[in-house]
Amino acid sequence: MSVTKPAKLRKMMLSSGIGFIAGVGGVMGFYALGVDVEWSGGRVAAGGVGVIYLMTGLFVLLGVAVPGVGAKLLNVSDVEELVEQRAILMGSALSVITLGVMLLCLAAAGPGGLIPDAVAIAAVAVALLTSVVVYARQWRLYDELWQQLSWESSAFATTLILPVLILWGGAVQLGYVRSMDPLAVIALAAGSILAGAVIATGRRGLLAPR
Amino acid sequence: MRNIVRDLRELKGWSQGELAHRLGVSRQTINAVETDKYDPSLPLALRMALLFDVPVPSLFIDDWKPEELK
């Protein structure tokens, strides 16, 4: 089914608009929950990246659950394509949602936090376990394009995070800057993975509206 | 690298989904190959050539030439 350019533009603006509103609303809502919490840089970063993960995952989950709506919001050519990719998209959504919840829990736990530390520990365990199981299963479902994109995403993520960690860690070691906030490092890793995926798909022109 | 996958597919009257199914890949892969966003692996290129009954160099066109032929 061919889609005209104005229709593609409308679709891109609709999904970007909803994503932007949901993202900003989510971040503001999360920070509003903890008005009494001391928001360190690491907490703000982990919370922000966590909201982006959570919203992205929920967006994809909604699209898979209601393909008619998903075909209008997600970058697929039609409902049929969405249904074909259901297993992969569902797995990705599940993994991304649990990682988002993990980041939010870590940002909200700790000294003077909103939630008990045990909840954050449980969220970390669930997210890591889910992601490992999903990734192992996804790899068998991927065809060569998806496998290639997965390798490229990982390569870009590593390229992004490695210089920052080396420079930052080196500067800490030499006493030029204060020690790293562990949450900031976690947020940086999670953000790099997301950015790596965007760069890999964008570089191949696969983010162009279909 | 350019290719004539779309032309040959349309000549056969197949949809992208149908070709994807015959080759055991996703529709996104066929779309990405046809729009020159992805160069397929050698096994997939060979399978495509077999399916369309054309040699690989006719299906995928690279303008590169060895020095001695320039």
In this predicted structure, the answer to whether residue A1 has a pLDDT above a threshold of 50 is: no
* A157 occurs within a structural domain: yes
C-alpha distances in angstroms, B64 versus B5, B17, B57, B60? Answer: 19, 31, 12, 12
% of chain A surpassing 70 pLDDT = 91
pLDDT in tens, A146-158: 999 999 999 999 9
When pLDDT is averaged across residues A192-202 and rounded to a whole number, the result is 94
CB pairs A-B closer than 8 Å: 39
Closest residue of chain A to B20, computed from CA coordinates: A143
pLDDT for res A196: 96
C-alpha distances in angstroms, B37 versus A86, A109, A150, B56? Answer: 23, 44, 16, 18
% of chain B surpassing 70 pLDDT = 100
| Straight-line distance from the first to the last Cα atom of chain B, in angstroms, rounded to the nearest whole number | 19
* A210 occurs within a structural domain: no
Q: Is A85 on the interface with B (CB under 8 A)?
A: yes
Residue A185's pLDDT band, with cuts at 50, 70 and 90, is very high
pLDDT for res A104: 94
Residue A82's pLDDT band, with cuts at 50, 70 and 90, is confident
- CA atoms within 13 A of residue A207's CA, in its CB half-sphere: 9
In this predicted structure, the answer to whether residue A29 has a pLDDT above a threshold of 50 is: yes
Distance CA A190, CA A53 (A): 9
Mean of per-residue pLDDT scores for chain A: 88
Domain regions of chain B by residue span? 2-58
Query: B18 to chain A: which residues are within 8 Å by CB?
Result: none
pLDDT for res B63: 85
pLDDT for res A39: 72
* A72 occurs within a structural domain: yes
Comparing A31 with A113, the larger pLDDT belongs to: A113
* A209 occurs within a structural domain: no
pLDDT for res A71: 82
Name the architecture of domain B2-58.
Orthogonal Bundle (1.10)
pLDDT for res A67: 87
pLDDT in tens, A42-63: 888 999 999 999 999 998 999 8
* A102 occurs within a structural domain: yes
The long-range contacts involving B16-19, CB below 8 angstroms and separated by at least 24 positions, are B17/A80, B17/A81, B17/A84, B19/B51
Closest residue of chain B to A202, computed from CA coordinates: B37
In this predicted structure, the answer to whether residue B1 has a pLDDT above a threshold of 50 is: yes
Give the ipTM.
0.87
By residue range, what is the domain housing residue A188?
A: 5-203
pLDDT for res A69: 83
Residue A144 has its nearest CB partner, among B29, B35, B37, at B29
Residue B37 has its nearest CB partner, among A80, A143, A205, at A205
Q: Is B17 on the interface with A (CB under 8 A)?
A: yes
Residue A163's pLDDT band, with cuts at 50, 70 and 90, is very high
* A110 occurs within a structural domain: yes
* A58 occurs within a structural domain: yes
Q: From the candidates A80, A143, A148, A203, which should be mutated to test the interface with B, based on the most B CB atoms within 10 A?
A: A143
Q: Is B38 on the interface with A (CB under 8 A)?
A: yes
Closest CA to A10 of A73, A78, A90, A77: A73
Closest residue of chain B to A205, computed from CA coordinates: B37
Q: Could you tell me if B49 and B56 are in contact, meaning their C-beta atoms sit under 8 angstroms apart?
A: yes
